[in-house]
Structure 1
Amino acid sequence: MKNIQIQVVFYSMYGHVYQMAEAIAAGVNEIEGAEALLLQVPELMSEEALKAAGATKARQAFAHIPVANPQQLAEADAIIFGTPTRFGNMCGQMRNFLDQTGKLWLEGKLIGKVGSVFTSTATQHGGQETTITSFHTTLLHHGMVIVGVPYSEQGLLKMDEVTGGTPYGASTLAAGDGSRQPSENELTLARAQGRRVAEIALKLCR
């Protein structure tokens, strides 16, 4: 039987969301019958602006990842979206991408598919939960079945270190200058999210 396709669609500026996307894809691929496809949404900033923001070098790490077309979402059995936080909301690049899915909405192409979200913030209280839950609004309009990370994942209960991770979806902390990289706990939760989405999508598809 053909594997189900789970798209991991992300935007990353400094590489933190990309690292989380790789972990999520690894989790998906651990589940027999599921296969992850990594895609990135188009960039809206100019090369000059990216260079001024110090993002040019970091972006080389995922330059090989194909750029997604909004209509491509219809081919997936589940979609896991990744976005950095911008003032408690998804980034403009992701919003612009989703705003091009009107035709999919009119045709009901995403109804019944699993949808899930992960994120990155600069600080502990920088909007991880609001970014994910506000993103869910768009998924609900598309009729998607939302999946998060349950508290059976012990990493959500860690109190002995600074860490991201929410029941709404995996998350990481990047620090204001982007110097902090995803921790092992954050990556473990990301892999768990990928596995959970794959498991539920398989149940829905078969």
Structure 2
Amino acid sequence: MSNVKILVLYYSMFGHVETLARTAAEAINAVDGAEAVLKRVPEHIPDDVLQSFGAKTSQTAPVADPGELAEYDGFLFGTPTRFGNMAGQMRNFFDQTGTLWAEGKLVGKPAGVFVSTGTGSGNETTVLSMVPTLVHHGMVFVGLPYSAPELTDISEVRGGSCYGAGTIAAGDGSRQPSEKELNLMRFQAKHLTDVARKLKG
């Protein structure tokens, strides 16, 4: 089977998406012949402003450069919701990929999305707000199939949908991703890796 290199690229203000991203990378690295690279998009809000409302500023993942996307066989993009859309930091990153689009560097590569929402509202629309960009690049959107057991489990509040894994973050940041949400992230990461391997092979 083909070896694949998957980029897990995220933006996280309070650490919820970062936790999902690290979980995804671990799941990918556990697949034989697969390598995950964990990176984040640049922050545009000054540190003092971030610190004033308790944002997590100590994230250790390196910052990605838009041009490097061409190096990967597949992608998982993570973002919190901003009024039902991807965060501006993620949008700005994609807005710098025009050269990749013009040269068709991402055509045929699989991409999935995972999210964090404060109330659950935006859980699906945030993923869908990213799909047009992925499709314009010619990427193959990969969701989260219902063969993931937790996706049909409604015994407790959780994020995630058939569009992608997710977590629900309480307004004060006290709720962290649950084990069921993390399992959905693991499932999506492994599924995306399998699709990437098939497309590459």
* Superposed pair shares fold, TM > 0.5: yes
- Unmatched runs of 5 consecutive residues or more in structure 2: none
Match of 1:143 in 2: 138
Deviation at 1:179, TM superposition (A): 1.1
CA separation in 2, counterparts of 1:66 and 1:7? Answer: 12
| Letter in structure 1 aligned against 2:75 | I
Report the alpha carbon displacement of residue 59 of structure 1 after superposing the two structures with TM.
Answer: 2.9
Counterpart for residue 59 of structure 1: 57
Provide the secondary structure at the position in 2 that maps to 1:178.
coil
Residues in 2 aligned to 1:136 and 1:184: alpha-carbon distance in whole angstroms: 27
Report what 1:76 is aligned to: 72
1:2 is displaced (CA, Å) by 7.5
Using structure 2 for the length normalisation, give the TM-score: 0.97
Give the C-alpha shift of residue 164 in structure 1: 0.8
Letter in 2 for 1:6: I
- Find the aligned partners of 2:80 and 2:89 in 1 and give their Cα distance: 10
The match for 1:179 among 174, 177, 189 is 174
Secondary structure, in 3 states, of the residue corresponding to 1:59? coil
Matched, 1:88 2:84: yes
Q: Please say if residues 155 and 165 of structure 1, whose CA atoms lie closer than 8 Å, have aligned partners that are also in contact.
A: no
* Structure 1 residue ranges, 4+ long, deviating more than 3 angstroms after superposition: none
Structure 2 contact 66–96 (Cα < 8 Å) conserved: yes
1:205 aligned residue: 200
Structure 1 distance, partners of 2:150, 2:87, is 26
Counterpart CA distance in 2 for 1:138 and 1:98 is 8
**1:110 maps to 2:109:** no
Cα deviation per residue 1:115-158 (whole Å; 9 max; x = unaligned)? 1100000112x201000011111000000011111001110111
**Aligned pair count?**
201
Structure 1 regions of 5+ residues with no counterpart?
A: none
Output the CA distance in 1 between the equivalents of 2:147 and 2:156: 19
Aligned partner letter, 1:23: T
Partner amino acid, structure 1, of 2:170: A
Output the CA distance in 2 between the equivalents of 1:179 and 1:94. Answer: 24
Q: SS at 1:136's partner residue?
A: helix
- The whole-number CA distance in structure 2 between the counterparts of 1:115 and 1:153 is 18
CA deviation profile, 1:54-95 (whole Å, cap 9, x unmatched): 11xx331x2x21100000101010011000000000001000
Deviation string for 1:138-187 (max 9, x for gaps)?
00000001111100111011111011111000000011111110000000
**Residue of structure 2 equivalent to 1:28:** 28
Question: SS of the residue aligned with 1:120?
Answer: strand
SS at 1:19 equivalent: helix
* Alignment partners' CA distance in 2, 1:121 and 1:143: 27
- Letter of the 1:138 partner, please give it: T
Q: Deviations over 1:18-61 (max 9, x none)?
A: 00001111221222111100000000000121011211xx331x
Contact 2:110 2:196 in 1 (8 A): yes
Residue 122 (1) aligns with residue 118 (2) = yes
TM-score by length of 1: 0.95
Provide the secondary structure at the position in 1 that maps to 2:191.
helix
